[in-house]
Amino acid sequence: MAPAINTVSLPDADLGDSFDQQLQTNISNAKWSVTSGRLPFGLYLSEGGKLSGTPRRAGYYTFTVQATNGTETAAKELSIYIQPERQQRRYYNPPPRYLPAPLPAPLPAPTPIPAPTARPLQPVPAITEPLPAIGETNRSVNVREKASTKSRLLGTLPKGAAITIVGFDGIHAVIEWQRGYAYVAANFITAEFEASLEVRVNKKGWTYSRGSELKKYRLTSLVAGDTLEVSGRDGKWYWINNGDGGRIWIPAGITVPIN
């Protein structure tokens, strides 16, 4: 029997709800990966073929998955639709009619509720790295009025809070906040960039197979002047999608963005 991926299609997922789907193949002891396209932000494919997580952005996504055991390989293009948050609906169920009773009177027209007067969205502040991204906090983090730990505290976000990022200003990320913008420490967020960011290495370092500077995770050496295109940020680390569903990690502190 020729190697094949048996999963034909994926069910729709709801924005903000947990999703769990096991992909199927006739290849024994297969390891799974994404070879092209992009998974919805918040969903991840394990080596065992489980697609799971909590989707963070609505839309239609197409990607190619591969299953291989080193001898046999199969690939298939799959698509998934992330539905926007479902709106509550109100239904009117009239009481049963018993002839010859007359039909119930029609419901009165609802009194229109005036729309609240919203403050206009403030203009985006001047920032050093305009870089739209969708992300979440990886720990509880303070939200401040300016890019300084001494500026006015506006609030606090818990770990796992979804955030919309408009860019970075030094060691701070600029996020949308209550019809305006505010700042959080970039080391305390995980973000996937909408477009890759080109950075230049400014001192000697290494790439790593995971976000840890232990020697056993080193991959390749970096020298000042090397340029890289990174796909996202997790705390003190940038990552590059390596094409097989994995990531290569670079310390953010040894790079500077190329404007």
The conformation of residue 143, written as its DSSP 8-state character, comes to E
* Model pLDDT, residue 121: 53
Asked whether residue 213 falls in the same domain as residue 231, the answer is: yes
What does the pLDDT look like over 84-118, one tens digit per residue?
876 433 444 444 544 556 677 787 877 776 655 54
| Half-sphere exposure (Cβ direction) of 45: Cα atoms closer than 13 Å | 24
pLDDT of residue 192: 86
177 with 140: CB under 8 angstroms? no
pLDDT over 90 (residue 76): yes
The kind and range of the H/E element at 113 are none
Q: What are phi and psi of 21, to 5 degrees?
A: -145, 125
Q: Is residue 223 located within the same domain as residue 179?
A: no
- Residues 208-219: tens digit of each pLDDT: 988 778 888 898
Look up residue 179 and give its two tokens.
């019809």
How far apart (Å, rounded) are the C-alpha atoms in residues 125 and 174?
9
Mean pLDDT along residues 53-75: 90
Residue 93 counted as domain residue: no
44 in a domain, yes or no? yes
Please give the C-alpha separations between residue 58 and each of 12, 40, 161, in angstroms, as whole numbers: 11, 8, 17
Beta bridge partners of 169: 172
DSSP state at residue 50: E
CA distance linking residue 45 with residue 34, whole number of Å: 8
Range of the domain at 218: 192-257
- 28 and 69 belong to one structural domain: yes
Q: Which of 112-116, 188-192, 238-242, 252-256 shows the lowest mean pLDDT across its residues? A: 112-116
| 223: in domain | yes
pLDDT reading at 119 higher than 80: no
Mean pLDDT of the chain: 83
Query: Do residue 169 and residue 200 come from a single domain?
Result: no
Instruction: Give domain status of residue 89, yes or no.
Output: no
Separation between Cα atoms, residue 199 and residue 254, nearest integer Å: 10
Q: Do 172 and 196 fall within a single domain? A: no
- The candidate with the shortest Cα–Cα distance to 254, out of 206, 188, 187, 189, is 206
188: phi then psi, degrees, rounded to nearest 5:
-110, 20
Q: Which residues contact 115 (CB under 8 A, 6 or more apart)?
A: none
Whether residue 32 lies inside any domain: the answer is yes
Instruction: List beta partners, residue 182.
Output: 175
- Does some domain include residue 209? yes
Q: Strand pairing partners for 14?
A: 83
Lowest mean pLDDT among 22-26, 73-77, 98-102, 180-184: 98-102
Nearest to 240 by CA among 254, 229, 251: 229
In terms of domains, do 177 and 197 share one? Answer: no
Euclidean distance between CA atoms 184 and 144, whole angstroms = 6
Least confident of 2-11, 30-39, 43-52, 240-249: 240-249
Q: What value does the mean pLDDT take over residues 42-59?
A: 90
Higher pLDDT, 202 or 111: 202
The answer to whether residue 63 sits within a structural domain is: yes
Domain count, the chain: 3
Do both 182 and 196 map to the same domain? no
Residue 51 has pLDDT above 90, yes or no: yes
Q: Which residue has the higher pLDDT, 120 or 197?
A: 197
Comparing 86-100, 108-122, 178-192, 245-259, the range with the smallest average pLDDT is 86-100
The answer on 207 and 181 residing in a single domain is no
Q: What is the mean pLDDT of residues 136-163?
A: 90
Map tokens 């730990």 to a residue. Answer: 149
Alpha carbon separation from 157 to 16, 66, 160, 171, 258 (Å, rounded): 17, 38, 8, 17, 30
Which of 83, 105, 139 is the C-terminal boundary of a domain?
83
Structure tokens at 146: 């300016």
Please give the pLDDT value at position 89.
Answer: 36
Q: CATH number, domain at 73?
A: 2.60.40.10
Task: Kindly report the CATH number assigned to the domain that includes residue 222.
Answer: 2.30.30.40
- Give how far Cα 134 sits from Cα of 84, 201, 219, 232, Å: 15, 25, 28, 10
C-alpha to C-alpha distance for 161 and 135, rounded to whole angstroms: 8
Per-residue model confidence (pLDDT) at position 66: 93
Q: How confident is the model at residue 23 (pLDDT cuts 50, 70, 90)?
A: very high
Residue 102 inside a domain? The answer is no
| Domain end marker among 188, 205, 224 | 188
